[in-house]
Amino acid sequence: MSFDPNGARARFPGLVTDWVLFDNAGGSQILDSAMDRVREAFLTSHVQPGGTYAASQKVSERVDAATREWAACWNAADPRELVFGASTTQLFQNLSRAIEPTIQPGDGIIVCEVDHEANIGPWVRLASRGAEIRWWRPNRETFELSLDDLSRLLTKRTRLVSFSHVSNVLGHINPAREIVRLAHDAGAQVVIDGVSYAPHRRVDVRAIGADFYAASVYKVYGPHQSILYGRLDRLEALPPINHYFIPADKLPHKLAPGGYNFELVHGAGAVPQYLASLGPRGLDEVADHETALAERVLSFLRSRKGVRIIGLPKGAPDRVPTISFVVEGRDPTEIVPKVDAHRVGIKAGDFYARRLCDALGLTKPDSSSVGAGTLAQGGVVRASLVHYNTLAEADRLCAVLDQVIS
């Protein structure tokens, strides 16, 4: 049977609105059960863990339970392989701090030009330790990454390869298993940004072979938390970045300075149960529906003169419905407010994939303004759909764009 999004929509109170919400790659709507858990935590255990009294013990039990839920969801071998944090950016920064003392001059690090800056900046910074940074760049016409190009970049000195499972601008599903195999054959470890993959497909860290994998729960229907997976032996080998008296073998605390947001972790624990309710393979069960959503929008964009799709131009199993485009002669930041007027929520910008947008000539800094992050040319227009969006909503977006970009 094909997936019916209407049943799923009932689980998301934020969808009770006359707006159509297509900024899901920036943050999805939150599950009712996740909201309930956060409220429950504030009402019944808004204390610190580590005590002998009941409420304190309840905090520890809830964090442990959420960790086990996500470990099972991602097929991690051990709950100790998961670390929670406020954002994937923070978690990668923490991981980089831990890896930094192990870097020697001449060690190679490969970073991917299509990535969100969260999975580039922390590794480029290691050039200060003498690391050699090499760039894996996409084809400028097809936007695809070549495994042959990666093979040419790998050397015996390569220590680390970082890449995104899905680009948050392009929407391509990159061949993670093959990339990991190439990197491991060269003796390198792999860090994968799964933020734009995890809302759309089932994550299996052992099948992928990842050394490190991270995603944002708030983009996978939960509260504002993120998760870093690290293979147990990899985590155990890392120096700690917490207080000096936290033992080096104490996981996840050695990589979690400042501790957890216990209420949000408890809320995050509701998400794996929901994903399991979608079917035996969780989010994989909705892939055909999402492909149809993507194709509905992409087919419209393909039909419009002067529109360039930034990414694969057709809905297909190897892309998710994160759709970026530009219109000849139109700034993306001028288009989006006109779409807003029709109560359809999309966005424009570089979405922190600044290096990709720069390389494609889609950004131009505004020298007249204060602040390095301001753009005069606004990157791309992005509409990002997920399984609870409907074909009727996709048609509404197309009808609005038909008016706005004519």
Most confident of 76-85, 240-249, 277-286: 76-85
Mean pLDDT in residue range 301-312: 97
Mean pLDDT, the chain, integer: 95
The whole-number pLDDT of residue 360 equals 94
Which is it for strands 226-230 and 212-216: parallel, antiparallel or unpaired?
A: antiparallel
pLDDT of residue 343: 98
Per residue in 176-210, pLDDT (tens digit) is 999 999 999 999 999 999 999 999 999 999 999 99
Q: What is the mean pLDDT of residues 279-302?
A: 96
Report the pLDDT value the prediction gives residue 406, as an integer from 0 to 100: 86
Residue 140 burial (C-beta neighbours within 10 Å; 0-12, 13-18, 19+): exposed
Q: Over 90: is that where the pLDDT of 367 sits? A: no
How far apart CA 94 and CA 100 sit, in angstroms, is 10
The helix/strand/coil state of 132 is strand
User: Would you list the DSSP string of 24-70?
Assistant: TTT-PPPPHHHHHHHHHHHHH--S-SS-SSHHHHHHHHHHHHHHHHH
CB 88 within 8 A of CB 214: yes
Whether the per-residue pLDDT at 61 is higher than 80: the answer is: yes
Identify the band that residue 378 occupies on the pLDDT scale cut at 50, 70 and 90. confident
Between these two residues, 377 and 328, which has the higher pLDDT value? 328
Q: Which residues of 52-77 are buried (b: 16+ CB within 10 A; e: fewer)?
A: eeeeeebbeebbeebbebbbebbebe
Domains recognised in the chain with CATH numbers: 5-30+284-404 (3.90.1150.10), 33-277 (3.40.640.10)
Alpha helical stretches, state H, 154-245: 176-185, 205-208, 232-237
State pLDDT tens for residues 77-134: 999 999 999 999 999 999 999 999 999 999 999 999 999 999 999 999 999 999 999 9
Among all chains, which residue has been given the structure tokens 């996740």? Answer: 34
* Residue 127 DSSP code: G
Name the phi and psi angles at 332, rounded to 5.
Answer: -55, -35
**Averaged pLDDT for residues 239-245:** 95
